Chains A and B, each alone.
Chain A
Amino acid sequence: MANGKNDDAFVVFDRVQKSYDGETLVVKDLNLTLPRGEFLTMLGPSGSGKTTCLMMLAGFETATHGEILLDGRPINNIPPHKRGIGMVFQSYALFPHMTVGENLSFPLEVRGIAKSTREEKIKRALDMVQMGQFANRRPAQLSGGQQQRIALARALVFEPELVLMDEPLGALDKQLREHMQFEITRLAHELGITTVYVTHDQTEALTMSDRVAVFNDGVIQQLAPPDQLYETPQNSFVAQFIGENNTLNGVITAIKGDLCEVKLDNGEVIDAKPVNVSKVGERTCVSIRPERVEVNPARLQPGAHTLKAEVLEFIYMGDIFRTRLRVAGNEDFIVKTRNAPDQVRMTPGTQIDIGWLPQDCRALDA
């Protein structure tokens, strides 16, 4: 951990491109710098290039162009077994013909570590994931969650500084997944390891990461800490992909400082915060988060917009109410309200007034 010179650039992707067929680029001009100890998530739909990036880092794919550096060294020509990177696979890839203990022993054996040290490290790694009693079991005798823990322990047992995880929680049920999300982040921070985590589950990305890189079409759309990603998406893809999002389509009619005027398709005019729109007349997609919409006019803050809306559907979800409205022609406008004692349950068919602050309303590319 002490090596000062590279702590801010432990992993570097420098203008990396990848193409499988020589024509279409799966990864286009990727630049990414990871400081030591960071938990970075690559998030994106399938086919967005995130797994390819991970495989290039692990050494199972080679970059067509550009360079990948690990701790200052270019690793393009280093075979996977010499990179010393721990990896957790989606399918866990626990060796079925070996016991849990033998699985964990494998990376230590190939490194020529003495038996006594090996046993000690295995024990420590198993205790770390609370699987101490399972050393003699076969992977097939373990549940999905237990296999997941073993896969994690195996990736950590040889004390790598960098660990890659390829959708490791995809096969688990919701409760277990949430528990493991917590476990993985805890371990990563306790051990101070740098983690690159690939997932298509945005909740996972938001709850676990220090920073999230949102991939689409081979390009990082936005690289930011979770809160920034959610609250200030830089384009409409990120806004749509992260969390729930309401969009209203329109045309920019004026830009005045940090606000712009948008004429919605049904003729109404609202104010919004211009993000990646620049000129008048451009089509835009205005994004508002469901929880930033206020349905109780009494609580509206000064300067807020109000719009007419019709309640279409009311869904009781326990902790919150999810109400679907028709707003400015959009029939999928969602509003989330907390299940508080004074909260009204809206009946479908009623006309209401809703409102939001112009700065919570982001004008993005259409």
Chain B
Amino acid sequence: MASAQSHARRRAFFLVLPLLAFILITFVAPIGQMLHRSFHNDGFTMHEDIGTGVRTPIMTNLKAWFDANPAGTEPTEEAFAALAADMVVLRELKAPGQAGTRINYELSGTRSMFTKAARQAKKLEAPYKDAFLDLDKDWLNPDLWRVMRDASSAYTFNFYLAALDLTRSSDGSIEKVNENRQVYVTLFTRTLFLSVLITFLTFVLGYPIAHLLATLPLRYSNLLMILVLLPFWTSLLVRTTSWMVLLQSQGVVNDSLVGLGLLGDENRLQMMYNQMGTVIAMTHILLPFMVLPLYSVMRPINPSYVRAARSLGATSWTAFRRIYFPQTIPGIGAGALLVFILAVGYYITPALVGGADGQLISNLIAFHMQKSLNWSLAAALAALLLGGILILYWLYDRLIGIDNLKLG
């Protein structure tokens, strides 16, 4: 009996094995790798030859000096000598760019100092301090030495600090970055605000549609359902581009308003390349994700509930508020959670119609992935986003309860 059961269990396990492997390879591994990258960057400690795959530790002399001297120590001749020795290694490995880039993430304009020093590495002679200062005055910058000290260990939380507009001062304490360089917190706040707004708008627009879908006779509701699903079947790019056609200042909406005389030609509404464009286009695109869970919850609600409430003396508004609406809350929760999570991570639409102030945090993540190539910062931003969503999910569970969620 027991052996038959364990046999059945083993067989069931083999059946799900491909799925497990798939999830592991496509989901857990990349996310784990990404999260790891957010607090681990070995650009200043390890060099890997692309051709041979040989891994060589770099900046070892400097690391030894950092280990021997506490943080905040003025760089001595000894320190510069270590740096010079490391520069020779960097030059041989053709790795000064890599090391410089790592430092440049936290202190811009420093990458060229590394490439320049490495180029001259062979010619550097004692006293090394003066030799370096001859190359660039900035070699004495205490911030540079602080950053190099942090980077000499592969594990760091500085990317998280950067993602929250924070930095370490030269003595190692945490402070805010310059006001004109604070971008991420503003963007996180804006992303949250716009996502809440979009979720609310999809709810306001989607609730009546879902109700209609659930109560109309089948042949009409099928047609309406096709209209709701139609956006799903058209390419996201096409939909976003059509919004551009509609919303731009010489677009259909503005032309119609001007044509009707409701708007002066010179007062054309700016509905694109700003937050408004992002909100309008994303509300439209995410609407089905609100309508479908709502519909799936409303469909089975027996119309006799509302009738019963009416016969018991409730006005149609009271019947809706006290009887119908509470029964749709699981659908509202599911739809709102779905739309909100999708909106928080949305990328293409804000990139196309958002302009400067309609950008969301994902656009910045993409920027760090593709343009600045600061993957660690991108990973830290993504991790913060993920953490934020998990917290909201937890809150939702505490307040409404996940078992109340009904996706369909």
Contacts and interface: CB of A to CB of B under 8 A. Distances in A.
B313 A89 contact: no
Given A81-B313, A110-B314, A97 B326 contact: yes
A154 B308 CA distance: 10
A58 interface: yes
B314 A106 contact: yes
Interface in B304-319: 304-305, 307-316, 318-319
A106 B322 contact: yes
A176 interface: no
Interface in B371-404: none
Given A93-B302, A93-B305, A81 B327 contact: no
A182 interface: no
B302 A87 contact: no
Given A96-B327, A97-B327, A106-B322, A80 B310 contact: yes
Contact of B302 (A81, A83, A91, A111): A91
B313 A84 contact: yes
A86 B305 contact: no
Contacts of B327: 96-97
Interface string B284-297: 00000000000000
B280 interface: no
Interface of B: 302, 304-305, 307-316, 318-319, 322-323, 326-327
Contacts of A96: 327
A93 B307 contact: yes
B305 to A, nearest CB: 5
Contacts of A241: none
**8 tightest A-B contacts by CB?**
A107-B312, A93-B308, A87-B311, A93-B304, A80-B310, A110-B314, A89-B304, A110-B313
A91 B304 contact: yes
A106 B309 contact: yes
A164 B312 CA distance: 12
A110 B308 contact: no
Contacts of B323: 95
Contact of A110 (B304, B307, B312): B312
Nearest to A60: B307
A86 B311 CA distance: 6
Given A86-B312, A95-B308, A164-B311, 18 more contacts: A59-B310, A79-B315, A79-B316, A87-B307, A87-B311, A89-B304, A89-B308, A91-B302, A91-B304, A93-B302, A93-B307, A95-B309, A95-B323, A110-B312, A110-B313, A110-B315, A158-B312, A158-B313
A96 B305 CA distance: 9
Contacts of B326: 97
Interface in A68-93: 79-87, 89-91, 93
A111 B304 CA distance: 20
Contacts of A84: 313
A154 B312 contact: yes
Nearest to B322: A106
Nearest to A104: B312
Contacts of B304: 89-91, 93
Contacts of A155: 311-312
Contacts of A97: 326-327
Contacts of B314: 81, 106-107, 110
Nearest to B311: A87
A72 B192 CA distance: 61
Contacts of B308: 87, 89, 93, 95
Interface in A106-128: 106-107, 110-111
A352 B305 CA distance: 58
Contact of B311 (A85, A91, A95, A111): A85
B312 A106 contact: yes
A60 B309 CA distance: 12
A111 B313 CA distance: 7
A82 B311 CA distance: 8
A81 B304 CA distance: 14
Contacts of B309: 95, 106
B311 A80 contact: yes
A357 to B, nearest CB: 48
Contacts of A58: 307, 311
25 contacts: A58-B307, A59-B311, A60-B307, A80-B307, A80-B311, A81-B310, A81-B311, A81-B313, A81-B315, A86-B312, A87-B307, A89-B304, A89-B307, A89-B308, A90-B304, A91-B302, A95-B308, A95-B323, A106-B322, A107-B312, A110-B318, A154-B312, A155-B312, A158-B312, A158-B313
Contacts of A158: 312-313
Contacts of A83: 311
B300 to A, nearest CB: 11
Contacts of A91: 302, 304
Nearest to B309: A106
A85 B311 CA distance: 6
Contacts of A87: 307-308, 311-312
